[in-house]
Amino acid sequence: MIQFTPVVVPYVTAFVISVVLFIALWRHRDRRGAKGFLLDVSGLVLLSATVSLQLLSTSERWTVFWWNWRFAAVSLMAIGYFLMALEYTNREEYITYRRGAALFVVPVVTQVFAWTNDQHGLLYEYSISPAGYFVPEFGILYWVYAIPLLTIVGIGMVNLVRLFLSMPDFKLQAGVPAVTIAIVLLGLCVWWLGIIPFDTLALTS
């Protein structure tokens, strides 16, 4: 069962925009940084879709089901951003199949814990607010998952800032993704601190 709520409108809009962006990027997938950006936007498509379905759901079971997909979506976004930043700043030599596979170890293991979380509660606990929002309370395994992703995003951001400072001709190309990720991280912090009751990551990315 689903029930419309006005809160879902921005997320549905984000889904449509991210799908259009993915299609545009796919047409230019041979350009520098495009492959990582495609992975990033793939995560954004998945995130905005699952958050929309989560908000529309009237069943607690389905709300948790759609929430669990968030871990996969955010992992794709973080890894994609990292790979895009390395490629765009001419550090492709650091991108190997072995290192690429290593990037997915924590996300894959976390996804397993997400689907079994009701048995151990190590990743998160949750409650449903009076307004119907899913309110997570993060466990230790959530931070084991989040900190490595924040680290690679930070590395990507540092590389883009260095490019911004060292090559004036690339200020716009390097500055936009660096500022964008800073806004994303700010939105995450606001959500983590409980200042707002719902996840804004799909809206700030």
Task: Dump pLDDT digits (tens) for 174-205.
Answer: 667 777 778 877 878 888 877 776 677 777 66
**In angstroms, rounded to a whole number, what is the distance separating the alpha carbons of residues 66 and 51?**
7
Question: Between 203 and 35, where is the model more confident?
Answer: 35
What is the distance between the alpha carbons of residues 79 and 150, in angstroms, rounded to a whole number? Answer: 10
Measured N-to-C along each axis, helices 60-88 and 105-115 cross at an angle, to the nearest 10 degrees, of: 180
What's the angle, vertex CA 86, arms to CA 83 and CA 92, rounded to 5? 100
Residue 173: pLDDT over 70: no
Structure confidence at residue 79 (pLDDT): 94
**Closest listed residue to residue 22, CA positions, set 10, 6, 2, 39:** 39
Residue % of the chain over a pLDDT of 90: 44
pLDDT tens digits, residue range 85-133?
A: 888 877 777 777 788 888 999 999 999 999 999 999 999 999 887 777 7
For residue 70, give the nearest of 20, 117, 22 by alpha carbon: 117
Q: What pLDDT is recorded for position 1?
A: 67
Do the Cβ atoms of 34 and 28 come closer than 8 Å?
Answer: yes
Of 99, 102, 110, 100, nearest to 74 by C-alpha is 110
CA 134, distance to chain mean position in Å, is 18
Mean pLDDT value across the chain: 86
Compare 60 and 32 and report the one with higher pLDDT. Answer: 60
State yes or no: pLDDT of 67 exceeds 80.
yes
Q: Average pLDDT of 41-60?
A: 92
Question: What's the pLDDT at 120?
Answer: 93
- For the four alpha carbons of 100, 113, 81 and 41, in that order, the dihedral sign comes to positive
User: What is the rounded distance in angstroms from the CA atom of residue 143 to the CA atom of residue 82?
Assistant: 19
